[in-house]
Structures are given as structure tokens and as C-alpha cells.
Chain A
């Protein structure tokens, strides 16, 4: 057996080496999280000024009575569920396509990397214009097939929400697909050859070989992508500013509005605490799923 690490001696050395990382992360994440928990118990209003008032769980009670927050939570759930469905179906499809052998594979992989590499805010701002009724790209392409088509996507709640999800898929499916591709490439070729000789068709091969082997990786990945969807912020900031009304105000965007625009720091902290706890549940779920599937 190859020795890959050494036995414990001079233990101060590794701790010294990780100190900069621990300090940096501690100050920029751990300390603020604790402060958010602390602040959530106070009424702090930046407009009125004055000292923070301790109100215990008052902010948390307010969360459940705030209609704006209900809208935010509803849309965050809709956004996450539909976006993830799209990610799984189209993402695995794209990964299978990228895994085929053909000329110009390099070219296609480069193209697929571009949406991942560009800033979400650029995609969002371009989308604000692309979904414009008269001069936007989307309606223009539709009108080439249905000449009389007219619809203002970002003016109605339902279609604005659809548009936000579509842009999210366009930007992020490539990244999902590349990660699936990594899992696919670990499946040895000879299993497919054996399946082919045994007369298994492509669909059967996919469900009986590809999916079971790469399933664990894809599942872990899905949990991470779900968490990123729940905390997504850039897209609606750039594309809809939460509108029309509050219909596309994702939870992270709502927290930002409360904390930096309405200056309700206590209340914003309380929502942030709820979001943090939700993330913790998902992380636990992730670890549970991984340990279960390892057996």
C-alpha cells in the first residue's frame, strides 16, 4: 500500500498552515452568522434610528404574518422546483450528448462553457431586454413562425416567473451537465460493450447502467444546485428587480430589500436566520444521502 500521509508528529505545523484560512473564513462567515442570529432578536430600524430594542422572537412571529414574505417563499419554491426539474432532465440530456464521440467535440464543449463563465448579471440584464414584447429577441424568434405573436413577458406575474426560470436554465444547465459528464466518464466502456452484446437498447442501457452508476454523484449535485437556487439573487436583481409587483422577489432578494433598502435590520436578520436553518437542513440531508448511498 502506498503511503499517502505521514504519522502524527509536529502537530503544530499543520495547524499553523491552516490558520490563515481559518481566520479569514471565521471573520467573513462565522462571526457575521452569529451576529445575524443575535440581531434577529432585536427591532433595529435604520430610518427611525435609536437604540435596538429587544423583542425576543417578535421578528419571527412577523415573518408568518407578512404577505410579501409569503409571495417570496412561494416563488422561491416554484423557482427551485421547476428549475431543478429542468436541470435534471435537460442537464443529463446535454451530458449524454457531450459524452458522444463526434468531430467538433472540443468546439461544443467550449460553447457550453460560455454561459457558465459569463456573469449572471449580464445574462439577467440582456434577458430584461430579450423578453421585451416589441423589440426583444424571444418574441422576434417566435414571430418568425407565428407572425402575429405579441406578448409582454415581464409585465404579467406568471410569464415573468417563467422567463426568470428559463434564463436560469440557459445560464446554469451547462455547468450541471459538465458535472454529470464527469460522473459519466467514470463508467467503464466495457460495461456498455457487454450490454450491447447482450442486446440491450440505448434506453434500457441508460436506465439499467448509466443512471444507477452515476446516480449518487447526480443526487449530491442536485442538493447543491437546489441550495444555490434557494439563495439565488443576481438573476432577479438584474432581470426583473423583483417585479411585476413582488411576484419574482426571491427570498434572498427580499432579505436584501429589507436589510439595505428598508433598513429593517432586525427583521431581515430573522428571515436570514430562517434561510440559514433551511440550508443547514439541506446540508444534513446531503450528508445523510451520501452516507446512505455509500453502504
Chain B
């Protein structure tokens, strides 16, 4: 009996290791492949079979990318728009989440339902009229216009998560603050917000990634203001049939590298954030 369970355990360990290795390889090999493609010298890129451990590496592709594509400016655009969108969405969502978690009336829950339901409207359904509307107000291809659109796209999910976080803050804390003579503004900023810091951090981390990944908004509502996700599709080709894979892979890695670092650092918060959205939502 004992020997049997022992071999069973070993077998389980064995298969577990195989599966873990398999999953890791399936994710990592393509990423590694993009990286080595971006670092190979010009003549060595098109070889078959692929040389996975190239002898010579170069940063020529990155230099060429900086010269021809103005990558730094695009990264700056991305960060400016994302930064403002995070700032505004956090303010708007904290206010709404407080209202939804502390007051319950039929009207308010209908409003909450409506807000969350708008998340299910596919962007492509709204794209054309929204474009015409923004053009008539002069907001197409401007920072304010893009920031409004990015902010808006973050709202439903953030409100959902932050409402859940607020519900976990007991109301007795608020009552204690009121007894001590806090008015509403003081109570909100000095008592509640500090308690909400982990929740707000979590939602900002997830929203940051969502903003970086957004292709739809900048593709349709911007032209001159290019962000990284659009820029990778705009790399010029020498002729109609060639793909500029040397520059594309370098651009891909410029986008991927910060994301990999970011995910490694904030793994725990990201997991918590995603999960808290699923179970209660």
C-alpha cells in the first residue's frame, strides 16, 4: 500500500513537471523568438532552420527604429494619454463606487446596471457616429479627445471592482469619523481614501495594461498622435510583398519588454484584481 502511494506520488510529480514545462515553453518560445529576431544582424534573419542561439547579436534594428520611427515620441504619447486616463478614471470611479456601495435605492441600482451594461456594447458599433460627433467638436486626433475616450473605456470595470472594495470598508469607520467632527470632504479624503489605497492601486495596474493594449481607440480616433500599439502596424515596407520583420520584431520587443517587467513585479496585485472582478461580478 505504502509503496503504491509512493510511486503514485512520484508519477504525479513527473506529469506535473512535464505540464509546467510544456505551458512555460508554449508561452516563452514565441516571445524568445521575437527577441532573437530583433537582435540578429541583417543577413542572418532569414535562415531556415531558425538559429535559436545566434553567435552575433546587434542593436542595429533598434537604432534604425529610433531614427526612422521616432519611437520615443510614441512612447511619450502612450504614457501621457494613459497617465491622464488613469487619473480621471480613478477620480470618477471612486466617487461612483462610493455612491453605489453606501446608498441603495432602485434608481441607483438601475443606474449601476446601465453603466455596467454599456461595457457590453461592442466598440465597433459606436465607432462611426462617435467619430463624426468628435470631429464636429474638434476633438478627433487631440489629446483631450483621446483621454476622454480612454477614460470612458476604463469606467465600467473599475466601478465594479472599486464598489466591491468599498463594500468591504465597514460603515462604522465612517460613523466614528463623523462623531469626531469630520465633514464629508474630510471623511472622504482623510479616512476612506487611505483605506482604499490597495484597491485603487490594483485597479490602476490593470487599467494601465488595458490602456497600453488598446488598439481600437487610437486607430480610429487619432492620426498624427500615434501610440505604440498603432505604431507597430505602421512600419513602412520596402515593397508590397515584404514584411519589415526586422523592425517589427524590434518594435514588438520594445512593447513587450516593459510589459514583462511590469507583470513580474505586480503579479500578485494583477491576479487579485482579475479574480475580484470575476467572483463577485
* Bound together: yes
Q: What's the minimum C-beta distance from A166 to chain B, rounded to whole angstroms?
A: 11
Whether A112 and B27, one on each chain, are in contact in the complex, defined by CB atoms closer than 8 angstroms, is yes
Q: Does B3 contact A (CB under 8 A)?
A: no
**Which among B96, B170, B171, B215 is the interface contact of A234 at CB below 8 angstroms?**
B215
Whether B48 and A14, one on each chain, are in contact in the complex, defined by CB atoms closer than 8 angstroms, is no
Whether A122 and B170, one on each chain, are in contact in the complex, defined by CB atoms closer than 8 angstroms, is no
Contact with B along A167-186 (1 / 0, CB 8 A): 00010001100110111011
Given A2-B170, A29-B118, A36-B125, check contact A134 B130 (CB 8 Å): no
Q: Does B156 contact A (CB under 8 A)?
A: yes
Given A32-B133, A122-B252, check contact A114 B124 (CB 8 Å): no
**Which among B28, B99, B103, B243 is the interface contact of A8 at CB below 8 angstroms?**
B103
Nearest neighbor of A278 in chain B, beta-carbon distance: B122
Bound Cα distance A259, B220 (Å):
11
Q: Name the interface size band of chain B.
A: 35 or more
Nearest neighbor of A175 in chain B, beta-carbon distance: B274
Q: Does B33 contact A (CB under 8 A)?
A: yes
Nearest neighbor of B13 in chain A, beta-carbon distance: A102
**Which among A108, A119, A141 is the interface contact of B212 at CB below 8 angstroms?**
A119
Nearest neighbor of A14 in chain B, beta-carbon distance: B99
Whether A275 and B124, one on each chain, are in contact in the complex, defined by CB atoms closer than 8 angstroms, is yes
Q: Does A162 contact B (CB under 8 A)?
A: no
Q: Which of B55-63, B66-74, B193-201, B258-266 forms contacts with chain A?
A: B258-266
The interface of chain B, by Cβ under 8 A from chain A, is 16, 19-20, 23-24, 26-31, 33-34, 45-50, 91-93, 95-96, 98-105, 107-108, 111, 115, 117-118, 120-130, 132-133, 148-149, 151-153, 155-156, 159, 167, 170-172, 184, 209, 212-213, 215-216, 219-220, 229-230, 232-233, 243, 245, 248-249, 252, 255-256, 259-260, 262-264, 267, 270-271, 274-276, 278-279
The interface of chain A, by Cβ under 8 A from chain B, is 2-6, 8, 11, 13-15, 17-18, 20-22, 24-25, 27-33, 35-36, 39, 94, 97, 100, 102, 104, 106, 108-115, 117-122, 125-126, 128-130, 134-135, 137, 140-141, 143-144, 170, 174-175, 178-179, 181-183, 185-186, 217, 221, 227, 230-231, 233-234, 237-238, 252, 255-256, 259-260, 265, 268-269, 272-273, 275-276, 279, 283
Shortest 3 CB-CB contacts between residues of A and residues of B: A35-B129, A14-B99, A182-B275
Knowing that A113-B263, A121-B229, A128-B243 touch, tell me 10 more A-B residue pairs with CB under 8 angstroms. A6-B171, A14-B99, A18-B99, A21-B93, A120-B213, A135-B48, A143-B48, A237-B219, A269-B128, A272-B122
